[in-house]
Structure 1
Amino acid sequence: MRDITDPVDALGRAAAVEKAARLRSGWYARYLWVYAAGQLVLVPTALLGHGPVAALLFTLVNGGLVTGLSVYAARQRIVRRGFGARHGVLIGAWAVLYTAAVFLGKSAFEDSRVFAVVAAAVCALPLAVGASLETRRSS
């Protein structure tokens, strides 16, 4: 094991490690941007689709998106402190909005294209805000 005798050198190395970790943690912003973009397709599909073909399309696209993002996230080596709580809040907010959108879309706004577009944007909003904040944190 190396003995550190120069505190200035040790602080310089610590700053370099912190900078590298911050720069490499930008993967989470990309993850959130892709997930937000996916909502612009998935929410209207869930609200406007009818029948088994629409259900199959929704299942395939959603499954592909979640699988791809999960593999991408699992391959990342840098996870910053507080990631679990931040991710839990973002996905929790998305889940509440998505559930409300599907419930309202199927009960009160059946086949409303305007509602589907607005609901897609609303469902993507917490993910886009999280991605913007994460981009600022990682630069």
Structure 2
Amino acid sequence: MEETAKAVGALGRAAGLERAARQRSGWYARYLWAFAAGQLVLVPIAVLWRGPVSGVVFALTNALLVTGLSAYAARQRVVRRGFGVKHGVLVGSWAVVFTLAITLGTSAFGRGVVFAVVAAAACALPPAVGAWTETRGAV
């Protein structure tokens, strides 16, 4: 009888822990939305501007974004199961799209504003999709 009560208590604590993890895991969706918004600024800077000033502005803006997001992520106490794989896939897919956008933008399309807008949206797509799926999974 006492063992059954202990088992029920342990299951209750586990369920409470899972519930708390699901409720507190919304931070990653906010992280991804901020990353996606950053792409809407960074990609046009990289594609449209030329010269040392653009390099400095791009580096500072990127450093601020990465530092802010890293500090935000480091403060979070809850990480959902499968976080590492999901984050790796999202960052990897973003890196491929970003590399293609910057390479094509600087070599083939020059300073095309239309290309910069499309490239920014394309680079924002992987983190936006990740944020949307994370929001759906947190409920």
Given the two structures, how large is their TM-score scaled by the length of structure 1? 0.93
Once the two structures are aligned, what percentage of the paired residues are identical? 66
Q: How far off its partner does 1:138 sit?
A: 1.2
3-state SS of paired residue (1:95)? helix
3-state SS of paired residue (1:80)? coil
Structure 1 segments of 4+ aligned residues over 2 angstroms from their partners: 7-13
Read off the aligned partner of 1:37 and give its amino acid letter: A
Q: Which runs of 5+ in 2 are unaligned?
A: none
Question: Alignment length, in residue pairs?
Answer: 137
Q: How far off its partner does 1:53 sit?
A: 1.3
For each residue in 1:24-78, what CA deviation from the matched residue of structure 2 results, as whole angstroms up to 9, or x when unmatched?
A: 1111111000000000000000000111111111111000000110111111111
Alignment of 1:1-139 (within 5 A): 5-6=4-5, 7-139=7-139
Q: How far off its partner does 1:136 sit?
A: 1.0
For the residues of structure 1 that align with 2:103 and 2:53, how far apart are their CA atoms?
A: 21
- Decide whether the 8 Å contact of 1:4 with 1:10 is kept in 2: no
Q: Which runs of 5+ in 1 are unaligned?
A: none
Read off the aligned partner of 1:98 and give its amino acid letter: F
Q: How far off its partner does 1:13 sit?
A: 2.4
For the residues of structure 1 that align with 2:100 and 2:128, how far apart are their CA atoms?
A: 18
For the residues of structure 1 that align with 2:39 and 2:101, how far apart are their CA atoms?
A: 12
Given the two structures, how large is their TM-score scaled by the length of structure 2? 0.93
Read off the aligned partner of 2:115 and give its amino acid letter: F
